[in-house]
Amino acid sequence: MQKKYIRWILFLAALLLLLLISVVISLSSGEVKISWSNLPAIFSNKNSIEYAVLTKIRLPRLILAIAVGGGLSLSGAILQGIYRNPLVEPYTLGISGGAALGVAIAIVFAFQNISYITLPLFGFGGAIVTLFIVYFLSVKKDGLSVSSMLLIGVMVSFVSSSAMMFLMSITTTDNLQSIVFWVMGSLDESKPLLINIAIYSSLAGLVLTYLFSTSLNALRLGESKARHLGINTKVTVKILFFIASLLTGIAVSVAGVIGFVGLVIPHIMRLIIGNDYRILIGSSFLGGAIFLVLSDTLARTIISPNELPIGVITGFVGGLVFIVILARTKSYFKLN
């Protein structure tokens, strides 16, 4: 037992070290080359061009990448535990589709010109509306139906996508480009308010989820067995579902649709460290943060001075990694 805890501590320490390395690589890479050894000196000289590049462009992107990557990966780990289904990810429940529809409405009807916060508000509002639709349609006489929630979420996602495509077909070319660029995902957000909301909400979600790590371990055995172990499954599932949904809604509203983070990263963490949620929660958050920081760095530099949408990188890399994992794993992924 003690060896297991030591292994967990060493694994988390390794992830923290990898995150630190990723941070240094992100701050050093870009159109303006900055040596990692000069970073301390640059941060102490506030009048230099490099300081402005770091604090106004790269550091906000870095913080947002950590918040969004960690939040999406954590959401994926939670939802896969609730549904006991390895293919569930934050976007399966239609949250991303609702957020995308909200943003499309804001762009088509020019609401985004009111304030810089209008677009994220419409995106978050769309995600929340979708969340409540999925939740209330899944409530049965005997409580919340987890299987119905999954199916309803998929259908709501299809309906939202169809509505968004309708708006895209009747709007102007400029609006169409704005919608498409947002859907592909971007961390090009410099507003401190939105960045603070993203990072503080993701950290709060991490802390709250840790309070339910024992309950998530029990849910791996099934709801009936978890109830026999003294877990109030109805309340636990509701709370965890709302935490995962809010994390996803905030991430999507600020950064757009960034796929595969919530699907691939929890799987990789399970294969490396195991299924125990006492370690899986933290490792998934750190793994998601590392993955998105490196993906954003690649998106900024691969065709520099131009920039690729980060959703292209996460989809391409995440998809290939997931195929390799499936091909090399002898048995299908198990959550218990």
pLDDT band at 12 (very low <50, low <70, confident <90, very high): very high
From the CA atom positions of the chain, what is the Rg in Å?
Answer: 20
Residue type, 310: I
The Cα–Cα gap between 299 and 215 comes to 38
Write down the pTM of the prediction.
0.89
170 SS3 class = helix
Name which residue leads in pLDDT, 23 or 133: 23
- Give me the pLDDT at residue 326, please: 72
Q: pLDDT, tens digit, for every residue of 170-203?
A: 888 888 888 887 778 888 877 888 899 999 999 9
- Give me the pLDDT at residue 332, please: 47
Q: Does domain 60-328 have CATH number 1.10.3470.10?
A: yes
What is the average pLDDT across 259-279?
A: 89
Query: Which residue, chain included where needed, has tokens 């804001």?
Result: 106
- Give me the pLDDT at residue 66, please: 96
pLDDT band at 284 (very low <50, low <70, confident <90, very high): very high
pLDDT band at 296 (very low <50, low <70, confident <90, very high): very high
What is the average pLDDT across 231-244?
A: 86
In contact, 188 and 223? CB cutoff 8 Å: no
- Give me the pLDDT at residue 67, please: 95
Q: 303 phi and psi, to 5 degrees?
A: -125, 35
DSSP string, 227-290: HHTT--HHHHHHHHHHHHHHHHHHHHHHH----SHHHHHHHHHHHHH-S-HHHHHHHHHHHHHH
Q: Which residues pair with 202 in a beta bridge?
A: none
Round the average pLDDT of the chain to a whole number and report it.
85
